[in-house]
Amino acid sequence: MSTIPRLFVMSDLVKGAPLALTSEQANYLFRVLRVEVGDSVRVFNGRHGEWAARVSEVMRSAGFLTVEKQIREQAKVSDLELLFAPLKKTRTDFVVEKATELGVSIIRPVLTQRTQTKVVRTDRLQKIAAEAAEQTERLDTPHVEQVEHLLERLGKWDGTRRLIFCDEEGDQARADSGDDTASRPLSMADAIAKLEPGPAAILIGPEGGFTDDERNRLRSLEFCIPVSLGPRVLRAETAAIAALSVWQAICGDWRNTSKD
Amino acid sequence: MSTIPRLFVMSDLVKGAPLALTSEQANYLFRVLRVEVGDSVRVFNGRHGEWAARVSEVMRSAGFLTVEKQIREQAKVSDLELLFAPLKKTRTDFVVEKATELGVSIIRPVLTQRTQTKVVRTDRLQKIAAEAAEQTERLDTPHVEQVEHLLERLGKWDGTRRLIFCDEEGDQARADSGDDTASRPLSMADAIAKLEPGPAAILIGPEGGFTDDERNRLRSLEFCIPVSLGPRVLRAETAAIAALSVWQAICGDWRNTSKD
């Protein structure tokens, strides 16, 4: 992995243009990494690929780079959303970081009937996503949406986007009722193996699972694909990472790396 | 998910037998969960399935259960090992917790040439694995092995066990050298899709990646299957969870749930 520092910036990236650092970026580069005038930095903005830049001015809590040369073209990313019920603070942070590493384009915190945590600081999560994108060599950062109710989101769903509904309760409800076959969701790999390429979203429930109302509503939707994540009970953050990984491996951009 | 407390115990499980609690288990049941005499508890030991039990005696920091009835038979688990280079403390804890949720049978911390953290408290990790197994409804706990050197482990490898080598450096080395095709590992889904069932292990490197020596050694081994985890750079703990999830989804016990 290249050790040249990598920053997500808001400005357009044009050869020769000066680029003003925020105080946080300046602090990170000059105090934490001890970067000096003339040193190399890489920058990306989600629109113009990745560029080599050089530090041209170091100030107390500011600074400038000069943008020099494009080193990677902007790549198309999977159109993959993550919908998840917010968790306690560090676990929500964790989901956002890992979803960024796993190439999600939009992160949507959604409230469900059993969601415990209702307050979501979107600006904070957006920052975590930007930092994770810098680390993971992505050319964009996922957009973190404002929190909304799951049913509200489903009400305005674009039906061309498939909703992969991770139905963790499926197994337990079955086991409890002694019914070994009814409404058993397909395993995720089987359910998604033959899908045509297209926009998708993955939905992970809160720790307490979805209510019967929510499950019935979800299962009645034409664009919804209920899937099982195996025989063990996964914590919500594990389920999110696992489902995103399996999606990318089977339908997403892990495949493209070997097929380009 | 059932709300009856669930404990991993060492003793044999036999109908009618009294079961002594450790002081930690007694503390957890009686002080944290406020369980009382007559309340239900579930127990498992990795050998005799899961049993319903009832609290028969509450003492200051001890107690007894009476084992009543088997509620699940011992199930066979995937023969899947995880080899990973130890990380900083909380991140190692995290890998052990998630590997347990994802159904790993043996966890092996291995030292590589670029491993930063060399001290591993196996007993502590074994405890984390047991707690995670209680939460995740597993019928066993993974065994955490003593730390050893990667090359030492490879030297005594049973060749019938496939080693899935997550070769994160593959892409970067290629990009740096401008060679766009040489030694590109297959994407994980493609590499494992057609494997015959059998014992497997997943190998995740340290943050700095494997050295060229290590990569060449690994790639020369007949039982080793190098795979790519996609175009982004994943942190070590993300790579571990992602690779285990994809394995279980495609070759492991996620499949069986829908096929049994």
Where residue A146 falls among pLDDT bands split at 50, 70, 90? very high
pTM higher than 0.90: no
Burial zone of B43 (CB within 10 Å; 0-12 exposed, 13-18 middle, 19+ buried): buried
State chain A's mean pLDDT as an integer: 90
Rounded mean pLDDT, A15-31: 93
**Fold classification of B6-72 (topology level):** Ribosomal Protein L25; Chain P (2.40.240)
Q: Which two tokens stand for residue B259?
A: 């096929």
- pLDDT recorded at residue A260: 37
Phi (first) and psi of residue B53, to 5 degrees: -140, 170
- Contact call for A136 and B250, based on CB within 8 A: no
pLDDT for position B259 = 38
Amino acid B60: pLDDT:
86
- At A171, is the pLDDT very low, low, confident or very high (cuts 50, 70, 90)? very low
Asked if A102 and B231 come within 8 Å (Cβ–Cβ), the reply is: no
**Separation of alpha carbons B36 and B28, rounded Å:** 12
pLDDT of residue B171: 46
Out of A2, A229, A255, the one facing B189 most closely (by C-beta) is A255
pLDDT at B177: 54
Q: Confirm if B163 and B210 have CB atoms less than 8 A apart.
A: no
Which residue ranges of chain B lie beneath pLDDT 70?
1-2, 169-183, 256-260
Model pLDDT for residues B107-157, shown as the tens digit of each residue: 999 999 998 888 899 999 999 999 999 988 899 999 999 999 999 999 999
SS3 for chain A is CCCCCEEECCCCCCCCCEEECCHHHHHHHHHHCCCCCCCEEEEECCCCCEEEEEEEEECCCCEEEEEEEEEECCCCCCCEEEEECCCCHHHHHHHHHHHHHCCCCEEEEEECCCCCCCCCCHHHHHHHHHHHHHHHCCCCCCEECCCEEHHHHHHCCCCCCEEEEECCHHHHHHHHHCCCCCCCCEEHHHHHCCCCCCCEEEEECCCCCCCHHHHHHHHCCCCEEEEECCCCCCCHHHHHHHHHHHHHHHCCHHHHHHHC
**Cβ-nearest to A238 among B98, B169, B233:** B98
Question: Which residues of chain B lie closer than 8 angstroms to A254, CB-CB?
Answer: 187-189, 228-231
Task: State the CB neighbour count (10 A cutoff) for residue B59.
Answer: 11
pLDDT per residue over A206-224, tens digit each? 988 899 999 999 999 999 9
For residue B91, what is the enclosing H or E element? Answer: helix B89-101
- The CATH class of A80-259 is alpha beta
Q: Please report, for residues A84, A108, A188, B47, B168, the alpha-carbon distance to residue A175 in angstroms, rounded to integers and kept in the order given.
A: 25, 31, 19, 21, 40
Chain A residues whose CB is inside 8 A of the B231 CB are: 75, 103, 137, 253-254, 256-257
Are B232 and A101 inside 8 Å of each other by CB? Answer: yes
**For residues B103 and B136, what is the distance between their CA atoms, to the nearest angstrom?**
9
Beta bridge partners of B20: B64
- Where in chain A is CATH 2.40.240.20? 6-72
Using CB atoms, which residue from B137, B235, B246 is nearest to A246?
Answer: B246
**Radius of gyration of chain B from its Cα atoms, rounded to whole angstroms:** 21
> Which of A88, A170, A76 shows the shortest CA–CA distance to A121?
A88
Which residues of chain B neighbour A250 with C-beta distances below 8 Å?
A: 189, 249-250
For residue A177, what pLDDT band results from cuts at 50, 70 and 90?
Answer: low
Of all residues in chain A, the one with the smallest CA distance to B188 is: A249
CB contact under 8 A, A257 and B176: no
**Taking a C-beta distance cutoff of 8 angstroms, is the pair A122, A145 a contact?**
yes
Question: Taking CB atoms and an 8 Å limit, are B184 and A258 in contact across chains?
Answer: yes
Q: How many CB atoms sit inside 10 A of residue A56's CB? A: 14
**Chain B CB contacts of A243 below 8 Å:** 245
Nearest residue to A214 via CA among A181, A173, A186: A173
CATH 3.40.1280.10 in chain A is located at 80-259
Q: How much of chain A, in percent, has pLDDT values that exceed 70?
A: 91
Q: Are A13 and A43 in contact (CB under 8 A)?
A: yes
Nearest by CB to residue B229, choosing from A228, A246, A254, is A254
Is A184 in Cβ contact with B258 (below 8 Å)?
Answer: yes
In chain A, the percentage of residues whose pLDDT exceeds 90 is 78
Residue of B nearest to A189 (CA): B249
Distance from CA of B185 to the nearest CA of A (A): 7
Least confident of A130-139, A147-156, B89-98, B169-178: B169-178
Element (H, E) at B162: strand B162-166
Q: pLDDT band for A258, please (50, 70, 90 cuts).
A: very low
Q: What stretch of H or E contains B216?
A: helix B212-219
Q: Which of A137, A235, A246 sits opposite B232 (nearest CB)?
A: A137
d(CA A231, CA A240): 16
Q: Which helix (H) or strand (E) holds B254?
A: helix B253-259
Chain A residue numbers touching B246 (CB-CB < 8 A)? 245-246, 249
In b/e form, how buried is each residue of A179-196, taking b as 16+ CB within 10 angstroms? Answer: eeeeebbbbbbbbbeeee
Structure tokens at A39: 């040193």
List, in sequence order, the alpha helices (H) in B23-88: 23-26
